[in-house]
Structure 1
């Protein structure tokens, strides 16, 4: 598997992200889906990575959005439905956290769902040291959201 920076231009990546946003909106209450659309992911201050198999298959993606010079938000973590539980999300999260440290961020936070659909994601983040926290960066309290954060060590 290769994890690489991506410019969000290929039709495959666009379709993958469209499916991601549609699924999140379908399982989240109105107003509680905070996934970035393509324009949001292409905005300044956002870095985006894809995980690709040796044969070119798109396995997953992740993004990091700068909130302040020392704080970033993990966005758009997704694994292809045929590749869940195969280490793709762990590899992506590890890479994004390495990149965040290298960029000088002191903290990475995230918002994910609070209900059963998102339990595997919450477990992944907890395994990597993320702890629940309050809303950040303009998010408000939302019973459908779980907020998590991780202090980065140099």
Structure 2
């Protein structure tokens, strides 16, 4: 598998991002969905990666710089045909390693609070993330769960 920076114009990436947004909207009201759109993922403070197996997209993830010492995980998603094959683990490990390389002292994320998000929460906990209060521009929201990892 190969991790590539960008690929935001690739039709497979665009399809997976669309699937990601639709899935988020199926579990949360629009005002509680914090997934970045394409312009948000192209912002200067965001780096987007895609994970590939030959010419097949297997997953995506992004890292947003909140400040010099704090980053946020955004848009983590595994392609359906690659679920339960360690893709999310590889992407998350890459994002954490990149955060450490950048000198971040903390890495945080927002995910859903409903049962559909329990597998993601479990993965984050396995990497040492712990529940926290809202960070950055987030507010308390019954549809959101906030987690952070001290690096």
Same fold (TM > 0.5)? yes
Q: State the partner residue of 2:98.
A: 99
Counterparts of 1:4-153 in structure 2, within 5 Å, are 4-53=4-53, 55-152=54-151
Query: How far does residue 15 in structure 1 lie from its aligned partner after superposition?
Result: 1.6
Query: How far does residue 17 in structure 1 lie from its aligned partner after superposition?
Result: 0.7
| Stretches (4+) displaced over 3 A | none
Q: How many residues align?
A: 151
Q: Which runs of 5+ in 1 are unaligned?
A: none
Q: Which runs of 5+ in 2 are unaligned?
A: none
- TM-score relative to the length of structure 2: 0.97
Distance 1:93 1:4 in 2: 14
What's the secondary structure of 2:23's corresponding residue? helix
| RMSD after superposition | 0.9
- CA-to-aligned-CA distance 1:63-105 (integer Å, 9 cap, x gap): 0000000001000000011111100000000011111110111
Question: Is 1:7–1:42's contact at 8 Å kept on the other side of the alignment?
Answer: no
Distance 2:127 2:23 in 1: 25
- TM-score relative to the length of structure 1: 0.95
Q: State the partner residue of 1:2.
A: 2
